[in-house]
């Protein structure tokens, strides 16, 4: 049976501030996937992370999804994903550019990143050691005379 998560519901997730897996409230979902959560302990919002960085996912059980597109049974960390991708195909980050989930970008400060989720004018990007929310599709300000 698949878990039926919905916005406003509760889920256990890794909190980037508390650095522990804690109860979180679901803030946003993309299709059937949890995108944003709020930690019930520290009240900070962040992208959903099921497991702590650098750890393997929880063992498969009744909560695993058979509809996942992954063919491998093991979890691949973000640093491993970034190392396996051709960095020459990364697009330079600019708030004016538009990005999609799965795009590789090169940020002038944070370096190579992989777009994890798109939420309107914001994108969640996983870098080697952390995740950041960046803006995209930002229209230049209009000049008034």
How many Cβ atoms are within 10 Å of 35's Cβ, its own excluded? 19
- Of the candidates 51, 27, 29, 28, the one whose C-alpha atom is nearest the C-alpha of residue 39 is 27
Given pLDDT bands bounded at 50, 70 and 90, which one contains residue 66? Answer: very low
Higher pLDDT, 136 or 143: 136
- pTM attached to this predicted model: 0.46
pLDDT surpassing 50 at residue 121: yes
Pairing of strands 33-39, 20-30: antiparallel
Which two tokens mark 108?
Answer: 């002038």
């Amino acid at each position: 049976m698949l878990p039926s998560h919905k916005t406003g519901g509760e889920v256990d997730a890794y909190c980037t501030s508390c650095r522990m897996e804690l109860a979180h409230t679901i803030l946003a979902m993309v299709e059937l996937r949890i995108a944003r959560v709020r930690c019930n302990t520290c009240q900070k919002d962040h992208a959903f992370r099921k497991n702590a960085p650098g750890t393997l996912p929880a063992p498969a059980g009744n909560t695993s999804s058979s509809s996942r597109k992954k063919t491998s049974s093991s979890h691949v960390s973000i640093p491993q994903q970034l190392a396996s991708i051709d960095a020459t195909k990364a697009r330079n980050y600019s708030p004016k550019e538009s990005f999609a989930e799965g795009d590789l970008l090169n940020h002038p400060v944070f370096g190579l990143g992989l777009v994890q989720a798109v939420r309107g004018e914001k994108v969640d990007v996983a870098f080697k050691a952390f995740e950041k929310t960046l803006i995209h599709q930002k229209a230049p300000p209009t000049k008034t005379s």
